[in-house]
């Protein structure tokens, strides 16, 4: 992403790992074109791209597809929840869910993903609970509106095509962006202050829910959720146009860099699906 001057706004920033992950996954869902294969196999291929990304960035993956733990911790219920990917650092945990469907992602996918996190967080492991647990859902198709709202309600970062991720919007709101129009200073300040309350570790959401039950404190009001969705759609589009005014191919260039770095033309498809991609194989039907 273009690196305009930092505005030095008051308030906390997110870890650099999350900012980078958000914009890189956004470039992938916006521009990566998977082959015409069934949705389940397309999902496996999408997961393989994430794993290549983590290896290239030297991010520690404690779980990959098929794993039944989260940071080596089993769920409190005993259910063997599957994790698509878990990035672990000494300071935090990132639980990833990847989807590449032919239709919009609905709320049920978010409900299941959220419940997995709660079940793992309830496990008897104080060390695990002490590290902020961020959740990220990366979707190759747009989210349904109710799924998008649910993600904000529970602090989940949703990455989907055609909408700047909330973390990328937050990063931009803290900087001087040339050619930015129709996003006034008050809106930029509001975006900067609000998003750290909307994309949060699961522990924060559980704590706020507990406070709401015993003391009437707010969790996240529907007004704040709708305002965040409006900022993401409207202000996000204006930021996107400003970036394109400065560098028309900024997102394509980021994707092209990832494409080369991850070697997406070097045979990942053929390694995973040799029969599908052999010269004599019949063309798979589009799902």
Identify the CATH number of the domain in which residue 230 sits: 3.40.1350.10
- The answer as to whether 71 is a domain residue is yes
CB atoms within 10 A of CB 201: 19
Q: What is the pLDDT of residue 265?
A: 73
Q: What is the pLDDT of residue 4?
A: 55
Q: What is the mean pLDDT of the chain?
A: 89
Residues 6+ apart with CB under 8 A from 10: none
Measure the CA–CA gap between 22 and 183, rounded to whole angstroms: 22
Across 2-16, average pLDDT: 71
Q: What is the pLDDT of residue 205?
A: 94
CB atoms within 10 A of CB 276: 17
The stretches of the chain forming alpha helices (DSSP H) are: 16-31, 39-56, 107-121, 126-129, 145-153, 166-173, 185-198, 202-215, 222-230, 236-246, 250-262, 268-272
Question: 114 — phi, psi (to 5°)?
Answer: -65, -40
What is the distance of C-alpha 213 from the center of its chain? 29
Question: 106 — phi, psi (to 5°)?
Answer: -100, 175
Q: What is the pLDDT of residue 39?
A: 76
What does the DSSP 8-state code read for residue 131? S
Single out the residue of 253, 264, 256, 274 nearest to residue 51, CA to CA: 264
- The answer as to whether 3 is a domain residue is no
Question: 233 — phi, psi (to 5°)?
Answer: -75, -50
Across 58-86, average pLDDT: 96
Position 46 pLDDT exceeds 70: yes
- The answer as to whether 282 is a domain residue is no
Its domain, for residue 65, covers 16-266
Position 181 pLDDT exceeds 90: yes
Residue 28 contacts residue 255 (beta carbons within 8 Å): yes
- The answer as to whether 27 is a domain residue is yes
- The answer as to whether 9 is a domain residue is no
Measure the CA–CA gap between 100 and 159, rounded to whole angstroms: 12
Position 196 pLDDT exceeds 80: yes
Position 280 pLDDT exceeds 70: no
Q: What is the pLDDT of residue 6?
A: 58
- The answer as to whether 236 is a domain residue is yes
With bands split at pLDDT 50, 70 and 90, how would you rate the model's confidence at 5?
low
Q: Which two tokens stand for residue 133?
A: 């647990």
Count of structural domains, the chain: 1
Burial class (CB in 10 A: 0-12, 13-18, 19+), 147: buried
- The answer as to whether 7 is a domain residue is no
- The answer as to whether 168 is a domain residue is yes
Give the global pTM.
0.89
């Amino acid at each position: 992403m273009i690196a305009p001057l930092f505005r030095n706004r008051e308030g906390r920033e997110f870890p650099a790992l999350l900012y980078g992950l958000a914009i890189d996954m956004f470039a992938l869902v916006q521009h990566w074109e998977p082959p015409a294969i069934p949705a389940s196999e397309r999902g496996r291929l999408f997961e393989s791209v994430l794993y290549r990304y983590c290896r290239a960035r030297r991010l520690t993956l404690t779980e990959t597809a098929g794993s039944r733990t989260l940071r080596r911790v089993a769920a409190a219920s005993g259910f063997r929840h599957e994790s698509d990917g878990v990035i672990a650092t000494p300071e935090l945990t990132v639980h990833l869910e990847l989807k590449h469907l032919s239709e919009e992602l609905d709320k049920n996918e978010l409900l299941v993903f959220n419940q997995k996190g709660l079940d793992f967080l309830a496990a008897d492991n104080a060390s695990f609970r002490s590290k902020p647990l961020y959740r990220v859902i990366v979707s190759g198709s747009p989210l349904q509106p109710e799924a998008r709202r649910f993600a904000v309600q529970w602090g989940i970062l949703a990455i989907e095509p055609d909408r700047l991720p909330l973390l990328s919007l937050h990063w931009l709101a803290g900087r001087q962006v040339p050619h930015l129009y129709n996003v006034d200073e008050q809106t930029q300040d509001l975006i900067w202050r609000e998003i750290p309350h909307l994309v949060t570790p699961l522990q924060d959401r559980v704590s706020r829910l507990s406070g709401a039950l015993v003391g009437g404190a707010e969790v996240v009001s529907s007004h704040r959720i709708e305002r965040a969705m409006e900022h993401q759609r409207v202000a996000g589009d204006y930021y996107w146009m400003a970036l394109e005014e400065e560098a028309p191919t900024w997102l394509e260039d980021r994707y092209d860099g990832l494409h080369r770095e991850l070697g997406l033309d070097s045979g990942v498809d053929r390694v995973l699906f040799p029969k599908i991609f052999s010269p004599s194989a019949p063309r798979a039907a589009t799902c």
